[in-house]
Amino acid sequence: TERFEQIASDGRFSFFGNVSVGRPAPVEAAPPGENGGWAAELRQGLLDFGSSLGGSGGSLGPRIEVDDLRRAYDSVILAYGASDDRKLGIEGEDLPGVHAAREFVDWYNGHPEWRGDADPFHLSSVETVAIIGTGNVALDCARLLTKHPSALVRGTDVCERAAAALKRSRVREVVLLGRRGVLQAAFTIKELRELSKLADVQTTLESPAGAFSPTVLAAAAADRP
């Protein structure tokens, strides 16, 4: 959030949300209490933006084709993240209790898809969570699951419904499983540092023999001097 605010303060920056690119805009009613005031003005602004590029209007925002953007801008970068999960085709991935990180992130960020269930991940009855992966998203999920309840709302973007469920959480252990070696870990030092400094959290590392051999450490120093 802090980084976004820093970028958004640049006079050359403009932000438009709820824009559907290259696909039909969803037809849904506006959430309760958002039929007037600033929400209505924002929605109209989005529709006007889509119309200015030749796009068609949708109930939640404009629909804009990629060709419309190419005609209006010198460069177009599609950086909206994954809209669905990539199945690995391995045994057990569809078992109860197995979730994609995207689902968990959408839930604690207040995505409308998860508004009907207060605790879809059954955190009130789970004590151990295993997270497969060592990227920033994996560390974010681990940090949120181990964060002190008093810090869940203050200074974070966690929605109130998710914060309430996390405060009732019985999770006491979070295990990060790296599928590959140290050199393939994709998290940043900042994310790891924040995880290691959480109040009332003990961080330990278990690694196979040779994980931090002189060869690996030399390669790491060359890759990230």
Q: What is the pLDDT of residue 21?
A: 64
Residue 35 has a CB neighbour count (10 Å cut-off) of 11
Q: What is the pLDDT of residue 34?
A: 43
Q: What is the pLDDT of residue 29?
A: 40
Q: Which of 134, 135, 152 is nearest to 199 (CA)?
A: 152
Q: What is the pLDDT of residue 50?
A: 53
C-alpha radius of gyration, the chain, whole number: 21
Q: What is the pLDDT of residue 59?
A: 44
Residues 6+ apart with CB under 8 A from 68: 53, 54, 55
Q: Which of 87, 89, 104 is nearest to 166 (CA)?
A: 104
Q: What angle, 0 to 180 degrees and rounded to 10, lies between the N-to-C axes of helices 101-108 and 136-146?
A: 50
Q: What is the pLDDT of residue 38?
A: 45
Q: What is the pLDDT of residue 2?
A: 60
Half-sphere exposure of 115 (CA within 13 A, CB side): 5
Residues 6+ apart with CB under 8 A from 160: 153
Q: What is the pLDDT of residue 126?
A: 92
From first to last of the 225 residues of the chain, give the pLDDT tens digit: 566 777 778 888 777 665 666 654 443 444 444 444 544 555 555 556 555 555 444 444 556 778 888 888 888 887 777 777 888 888 988 899 999 998 999 899 888 788 777 789 999 999 999 999 989 899 999 999 998 877 776 666 788 888 889 999 999 999 999 888 888 888 888 888 888 888 889 988 888 888 888 888 888 888 765
